[in-house]
Structure 1
Amino acid sequence: MRNFVNFQTDLLRTFVSVIDLGAFTKAGDALGRTQPAVSLQIRRLEELVGAPIIKQVGRALVLTGEGEILLSYAREILRLNDEAGSYFNRSKIAGVLRVGLPNDYAVAFLQGLITEYTRQHSDISLELHCGWSAEILDRLRSDELDLAVAMVNNEQSQYLSRSWIERPIWAAAENATFDPLLGIPLAAHPEGCAYRARMIQALDNAQIRWRVAYTGSGISGLQNAVINGLGVSALTHYTMLPGMRALDERDGFPPLAEIRVGLFYKHPRLSDAGIGLVNHVIARLDEAGVSPVAMNRVELVRQ
């Protein structure tokens, strides 16, 4: 008979709270426990894992390799546990949900997922905030948002629950033709956009001249610029529209570097409505065949 290790949810909740809130004292305040009690629970988890999961480097708390792996499992276990608890307690899904979406990604696709969920729960008041990924994550960190979708980089993966890879697509109007000698006209978001940076990097590396022919922060404006032949752009398969065609190396366009996109939230701060939305988004991503990728190392500054 196998000897199973039982990771108790209260231990995992304490662990995730320490990570998401950035300090043992803040985790204790959120959970109604003293700091020594929080430390004891972390030590208990380390006994179950058989290795340290958090280490202190100066004033910073840093996840160990085993801690990174445990964090990924802990988020999933708590997400499912809290979903089940909400169902069997018949908790009323209500309240305000503040969601941040990036300008430079498939906002329309994500908006569709979110509004589908809120239509199923009429007592939810939805607030959508669009901006650049760095701004969205700053607002989540400041508790101005409950949930965020943003571009992931190795330095900013705190609060990351699920991430996936997108390969941008060169998009142009169906009948558009371009003369590389005159420079490729680009339709792009303003500077700071990950897709804009990848277009420029790819063209520069291939020594292809380019110029920015259209700049706009909204995805619909970018799509219209492409369809009207003002320029080419980098889109995802979610944001390709009728009247567009994809370009590749056969058309003289170099491959675009992939982008990692993530779902971020602070589990201790999330309501039943928020947990429900997280589960809804993850289920729809799974249905669409979007495979998750592993989390990177997270560093947390003790506050």
Structure 2
Amino acid sequence: MRNITNFQTDLLRTFVSVIDLGAYTKAGDVLGRTQPAISLQIRRLEDLVGAPVIKQVGRTLMLTGEGEMLLSYAREILRLNDEAASYFNRAKISGVLRVGLPNDYAVAFLQGVITEYTRRHSEISLEIYCGWSAEILDRLRADELDLAIAMVNSERAQYLSRTWIERPIWAAAEGVTFDLAGNIPLAAHPEGCAYRERMIQALDAARVRWRVAYTGPGISGLQNAVLNGLGVSALTRYTMLPGMRELDERDGFPALAEIRVGLFYKHPRLSDAGIRLINHIIARLDEAGVSGDLMRASGELDRQ
């Protein structure tokens, strides 16, 4: 029989809490333990791993390579453990959930997934904040959100649980054509939007001239601009509407670079309702075929 190492959930919970909350003392406050007790649990976890998981550089704590890998597993183990515990304890699912969604993504699809969950649990109040990805993550760091979905530039980001890849597509109104020899009119979100950047980069690389014909922060305004023939835009398949058609290389429009999207949350801050919502979102993403592999998260942790 092979020798199996059992990772105790209390050790994993301490590890994730230190990382998500950014300090040993903050993790201790949440878990009801002293800083020495938290440090001892981290050492016990490192004994099981057989390597350090957190290293100290000056006054700053950082994840090691082994710690980054462990973090992805720890989040999943705790997520499933806490959902099972709330189910068998018959925990009442109630409270307020604050969710951040990016302006420049498939908000309609994600809102549908989230509201589907809240319809099943009438005791839950839902607050959705839509903004730019950077703003959403700032709110999560400030504990103004319980969970967030945002664009990510790399495979490593603080509070990151899952990532998946979206490849934007060119969208235009049916029956509307564009002269590639002239300036292609674009319908776009304001500067800073990942989809806007993808459009400009692709057209510049293909040496196709363009101009911004419509700018607006909301997805519905962007969709209406496309349907009314004001310009072409980069959308996801989830935000394509009847009356739109996809443009590709055969129409003279170069392929758009992919975008990585991530699901973020601080595990120690989540209620039972929040844990179950996370599981619901992941299940729906898996069903839609857009949920990616577990991602390693990293962050700098201050010892306080």
Q: TM-score, normalised by structure 1?
A: 0.97
Partner of 2:217: 217
- Aligned residue for 1:105? 105
Match of 1:143 in 2: 143
Match of 1:115 in 2: 115
Q: Secondary structure of 2:185's partner?
A: strand
Matched residue, 1:194: 194
Partners of 2:247 and 2:296 in 1: how far apart? 32
Q: Which residue of the partner structure matches residue 80 of structure 1?
A: 80
- What's the % identity of the aligned pairs? 83
Aligned residues of 1:161 and 1:264 also touching (Cα < 8 A): yes
| Secondary structure of 1:181 counterpart | coil
Residue 154 of structure 1 and its aligned partner are, at CA, apart by: 3.0
2:262 maps to what in 1? Answer: 262
Aligned residue in 1 for 2:300 = 300
Q: Single out whichever of 91-100 and 151-160 deviates more from structure 2.
A: 151-160
The alpha carbon displacement at 1:60 in A equals: 2.5
Task: Trace 1:48-197 onto structure 2 (pairs within 5 A).
Answer: 48-154=48-154, 157-197=157-197
Partner letter of residue 27 of structure 2?
A
Q: Which moved more, 1:43-52 or 1:271-280?
A: 43-52
DSSP-derived class of the 1:180 partner: coil
SS at 1:143 equivalent: coil
Distance 2:56 2:272 in 1: 32
Structure 2: state its 5+ residue gaps: none
1:95 touches 1:124 (CA, 8 Å); kept in 2?
yes
- Cα separation, 2, equivalents of 1:22 and 1:120: 34
Identify the residue that residue 43 of structure 1 maps to in structure 2: 43
Q: Which portions of structure 1, spanning 4 or more consecutive aligned residues, are displaced by more than 6 angstroms?
A: none
State the 1:299 CA deviation: 2.3
Structure 1 counterpart of 2:3, which letter? N
Contact 1:172-1:233 within 8 A present in 2 as well: yes
Alpha-carbon separation, structure 1, partners of 2:294 and 2:171: 29
DSSP-derived class of the 1:182 partner: coil
Q: Which residue of 2 aligns with 1:24?
A: 24
Taking the aligned partners of 1:155 and 1:78, their CA distance within structure 2 comes to 21
Give unpaired runs (5+ residues) of structure 1. none
Alpha-carbon deviation of 1:40?
1.0
Please report how far the alpha carbon of residue 297 of structure 1 lies from its aligned counterpart in structure 2 after TM superposition: 5.3
The answer on whether the counterparts of 2:195 and 2:234 sit within 8 Å (CA) in structure 1 is yes
How far the C-alpha of 1:156 sits from its partner, in A, is 7.1
Residues 186, 233 of structure 1: 8 Å contact kept: yes
Distance 1:156 1:296 in 2: 6
For residue 294 of structure 1, report the CA deviation from its aligned partner: 4.6
Equivalent residue, structure 2, for 1:3: 3
Cα distance in 2 for residues equivalent to 1:270 and 1:276: 10
Where does 1:236-247 land on structure 2 (aligned, <5 Å)? 236-247=236-247
How big is the shift at 1:52? 1.2
Query: How far did 1:59 drift?
Result: 2.9
Cα deviation digits, residues 65-98 of structure 1 (max 9, x gap): 1111110110000000000000000000000001
Using the alignment, how far apart are the partners of 1:36 and 1:149 within structure 2? 35
Deviation at 1:30, TM superposition (A): 0.8
Q: Within 2, Cα distance between the matches of 1:22 and 1:129?
A: 24
Paired residues of 2:156 and 2:297 also in contact (CA < 8 A): no
Tell me by how many angstroms 1:116 deviates: 0.3
- 1:143 CA drift (Å): 0.4
Q: Is the 8 A contact 1:97 1:124 kept in 2?
A: yes
Moved more, 8-17 or 47-56: 47-56
Aligned to 1:203: 203
Contact 2:155 2:295 in 1 (8 A): no
**Corresponding residue SS for 2:181:** helix
After superposition, the C-alpha distances for 1:111-157 in whole angstroms (9 at most, x for unaligned) are 00010000000000110100000000000000000010001123971
Structure-2 separation of matches of 1:285 and 1:208 = 35
Quote the Cα distance in structure 2 between the aligned partners of 1:150 and 1:221.
20
- Post-superposition shift, 1:45? 1.1
How many angstroms apart in 2 are the aligned matches of 1:195 and 1:296? 25
Residues 154 and 296 in structure 1, CA contact (< 8 A), matched pair in contact too: no
